[in-house]
Amino acid sequence: MSFTEPAGRQGSPDFRWPQEKAEPWLAQVAKIEGEIAQYFLVSARCGCFMQAARSLNVRSTLLRKQLAQLEQQLQCALFSFQGSALTLTREGQQLQAQLVALAHERKLPVIEQPLIRLAVAESILHDILGRDLIALLRRNASVRLEIIALDSELALRAVSADIVLWLAHGETPHPGPTFATSEPQRLAQLEYQPHIAKRYSRVTARPESPDDLADFMLVQWQHDRQIDSFRPWNNLVEQRLAGVVQMQSYELMLEMIRCSACIGLLPMYMSRFDRGLVALPGLFDEAMRLQAWLAVNSDSQSVGEVQVLVELIQRTFNERQEWFE
C-alpha cells in the first residue's frame, strides 16, 4: 500500500493545508510507503519504539532503521525524547495528522490475526513452556493466542485446539485428543519422584523408605490421583489417616512443598527448574513415569502461526533434553 493522494482532514476530503502553513517536506507524504507509514503511526501512538515493534511483530532495530530513513527522506526530525518519554516533534505531529486523515478517509482495514488455541498439560505449561511463551508474546503483541491448561484426562478428551501437548502413561499416546491430528510426536519421558525443599531436610535426616515418610506431611495434586503409573504414591497418600493435603492447584501444590516442609510427587527435572527442591529417590521400587506428546489439529497444520508455535515447543524441549535424562 502507498499513499498517492494529498492529505485531507478527517471528515473533510476536500480540505487542504493552507498555503501559508504548508511545509515543503509535506509534499512528499504521497511518496511514503504504506508499511513505513504504519511504522510511524504505531510508534507515534505507542510512544515507545520497543512496544511499537512488538505490536507490529518486527525487530525494534528494523523499526528504528526504517523511521530514520523516513526522517532522512523528509529532511526533518519526527521524534524527540523528553527525559525518557518519546514524543513527536512539530513536524511529526503534522505528519501524523495527514497520515491519520488519509487512513480514516481510505478506511484501511485492521489485519486480523488468526486465533491459535494451544492446549497443554498444566505442569508442562508452568515448568517447561511458560517462559518461552512469555518471550514469544513479549516479541509479538499482535498475536491472538488462547492457552488451555489441561488438568485432567477428561479435559484432554473434551478439548478442541490447534495444538495439543499432553502427558500419557505407557508407551503410546493414548488417551489423546479425540479430533483428527497429525502423527503424535513424543517429546520426552518424564520420571517422577517425591520431592522436598532442601531447607526443610538435612541430608542425614532425609527419608529413605515409605515408612520414613510418617514424620512428614504429604501433599498431592488432585490430577495425579487419576494416573495409573503413580499408583505407588497414590496408595501411600490414600492410606494416610493424618498429615496429608489434597490440592486442586498445581502451582499452590509447589508452594506447599517449597514453603511448608511438605513432600510431594514431582518430575525429576524440578531440581533443575528450582534449585531449592531435591528429589528423594529409592522410596518406591516401581518406576513412575509419563510421556510428553505433541500433536497438531489436521485442519491447522498449514497455518503459519501454528507452525511457529510448534517449532517453539520442539525447540524448548530440545534445549532441555538434559532435564529428562
pLDDT in tens, 199-212: 887 766 788 888 88
- Under the banding of pLDDT at 50, 70 and 90, the label for residue 106 is low
Q: Does residue 290 share a domain with residue 167?
A: yes
Tell me if 201 is assigned to some domain: yes
Tell me if 4 is assigned to some domain: no
pLDDT of res. 11: 38
Task: Specify the CATH number for the domain of residue 81.
Answer: 1.10.10.10
In this predicted structure, the answer to whether residue 96 has a pLDDT above a threshold of 90 is no
Distances in whole angstroms, Cα of residue 62 to Cα of each of 67, 85, 92, 191, 268 = 9, 20, 19, 44, 42
Listed residues 106, 127, 161: the one ending a domain: 106
Residue 151's domain spans which residues? 115-324
Number of domains the chain contains: 2
Q: Does residue 93 share a domain with residue 157?
A: no
Contacts of residue 46, Cβ cutoff 8 Å, sequence gap at least 6: 52, 55
Percent of the chain with pLDDT over 90: 50
Tell me if 179 is assigned to some domain: yes
Q: Which of 195, 262, 192 is nearest to 230 (CA)?
A: 192
Residue 108 has which C-alpha cell?
484501511
Which tens digit of pLDDT belongs to each residue from 126-165?
999 999 999 888 877 778 899 999 988 888 988 999 999 9
CA distance 144 to 41: 22
pLDDT of res. 6: 36
Residue 264 has which C-alpha cell?
510431594
Listed residues 59, 76, 106: the one ending a domain: 106
Cis peptide before 109 (omega within 30 of 0): no
Q: Does residue 91 share a domain with residue 135?
A: no
Q: Give the chain's largest Cα–Cα span.
A: 92
Tell me if 287 is assigned to some domain: yes
Which tens digit of pLDDT belongs to each residue from 8-64?
333 333 333 333 345 667 667 767 888 888 888 888 888 888 888 887 878 889 999
Q: Does residue 175 share a domain with residue 70?
A: no
Q: Does residue 280 share a domain with residue 224?
A: yes
CA distance 153 to 160: 13
Whole-prediction pTM: 0.70
Q: Which of 177, 175, 169, 182 is nearest to 148 (CA)?
A: 177
Tell me if 1 is assigned to some domain: no
Q: Does residue 256 share a domain with residue 139?
A: yes
Q: Does residue 153 share a domain with residue 100?
A: no
Q: Does residue 154 share a domain with residue 263?
A: yes
Task: Specify the CATH number for the domain of residue 172.
Answer: 3.40.190.290
Q: Does residue 164 share a domain with residue 79?
A: no
Q: Does residue 46 share a domain with residue 126?
A: no
Q: Does residue 259 share a domain with residue 312?
A: yes
Q: Does residue 132 share a domain with residue 47?
A: no
Q: Which of 170, 182, 150 is nearest to 294 (CA)?
A: 182
